[in-house]
Amino acid sequence: MPLLQLKQIYPFLICPRCKSNLVASRSELRCARADCIHSTAGAFPQVDHWPVLVDFTTSVLDLSVMVATQAQSVVPRGGRSRRLEALKNALFAPNSVAGDNLERLKRELPRNGRSQVLIVGGGGGGNGTKTLFADENLDLIAFDIYATPLTQFIADGHQIPLADGSVDAVVIQAVLEHVLDPAQVVAEIHRVLAPGGVVYAETPFLQQVHEGPYDFTRFTESGHRYLFRKFTLLDSGIIGGPGTQLLWSIDYLARSLFRSRLAGGVTKALFFWVRLLDRLCPYPYAVDSASGCYFLGRRSDREISPREIIKYYRGAQISGNSN
Ligand SMILES: C[S@@+](CC[C@H](N)C(=O)[O-])C[C@H]1O[C@@H](n2cnc3c(N)ncnc32)[C@H](O)[C@@H]1O
Ligand SMILES: [Zn+2]
């Protein structure tokens, strides 16, 4: 697996608070700036072998919870058998575009030598990321806010503890809705990307709340593109159309009526065919009622203007069209 060892990343790690270099002494990391609160021993807790490179004074993360739970996810995750997961994927096909989009991302990487790819919020891997984990020409770096074998360190996307220009690509799937300030996270992605580096993001548009108190924002396809305004567009589009988002609504309606998540799941399985209606919906209509959207772009120093984003709109409601 091309996931780098933690020690291989040491040269790129910086303090999440003051952005100074880190020093490693006896396998402990500290900030090199003497007047930074992270320069003292134990300032970055270590959970098992995962350093926790978080500035707890500004993060939604709580140090005492992190230590008490040994950096396990505070949101319940996984637990499903492989068979159940395969059945769920067959019925609901959560995302059929990610694999192709990540192949495209790889084609946009510089061709000379190895490329460094950062996965933000990569604790669970992510849809279509097999192509990244199987590619021996990539060096993968990944972090999340909890400890998993697919990450090298724990960090908060609002303050990425990596040096400026240290990676060639960033992948961020289904994470921006879970951060308090998506624009700050995108600014951090821009900062850690090398000139010409590429980003691939997927974010929900019409989806109900998931991950409980850790769910804050949704984006239209235009809003998502504007969030990445300091990037040149390579590709963008939707993930799941009106049928897919209706299936989410059916699930959450049944959950509400029967006060039961299981009832939602069963009802969703009965109505799995609703998702197939996506195939009948022309793209402009689907954009206005999509389940999620994606953006693939190249880091730029120019940002698109507010008027450009109005021209950018790809939906069915253009002026003069009453449909
Ligand atoms: C819906 S899951 C998506 C997981 C995975 N990327 C995928 O596509 O399957 C959201 C992920 O975002 C992570 N996350 C939430 N807040 C974060 C933050 N502030 N910084 C980095 N990751 C965060 C969660 O821990 C979780 O792994
Ligand atoms: Zn510092």
Q: pLDDT tens digits, residue range 241-251?
A: 999 999 999 99
Residue among 52, 56, 145, 162 to mutate when testing ligand 1 (max atoms within 8 A of CB): 145
Angle, alpha carbons 212-99-97 (nearest 5°): 70
For the CA of 34, the nearest ligand: 2
- For position 2, what pLDDT does the model report? 85
User: In whole angstroms, how far apart are CA 46 and each of 1, 152, 301, 309?
Assistant: 24, 12, 37, 44
Give ligand 1 pocket residues (Cβ under 6 A).
Answer: 120-124, 126-127, 144-146, 156-158, 173-175, 178-179, 211, 214
Cβ neighbours for 28, distance < 8 A, ≥ 6 positions apart: 41, 42, 44, 46
Q: Would you say residue 26 has pLDDT above 70?
A: yes
Residue among 175, 180, 192, 208 to mutate when testing ligand 1 (max atoms within 8 A of CB): 175
Cα(272) to centroid(ligand 2), Å: 50
Q: What are phi and psi of 185, to 5 degrees?
A: -65, -40
State how far the Cα of 314 lies from the Cα of 323, in Å rounded to an integer: 14
Q: How confident is the model at residue 77 (pLDDT cuts 50, 70, 90)?
A: confident
Structure tokens given for 120: 């933000």
First to last CA, the chain: 50
Cα(15) to centroid(ligand 2), Å: 5
For residue 119, the ligand 1 atom closest to its alpha carbon is: 6
**pTM for the complete prediction?**
0.94
Residue among 178, 188, 192, 200 to mutate when testing ligand 1 (max atoms within 8 A of CB): 178
Cα(76) to centroid(ligand 1), Å: 12
Residue 3 Rama label (left phi>0; alpha psi -120 to 50; beta): beta
What is the tens place of the pLDDT at every residue in 137-183?
Answer: 999 999 999 999 999 999 999 999 999 999 999 999 999 999 999 99
Average pLDDT in the chain? 93
What is the tens place of the pLDDT at every residue in 107-143?
Answer: 999 877 899 999 999 999 899 999 999 999 999 999 9
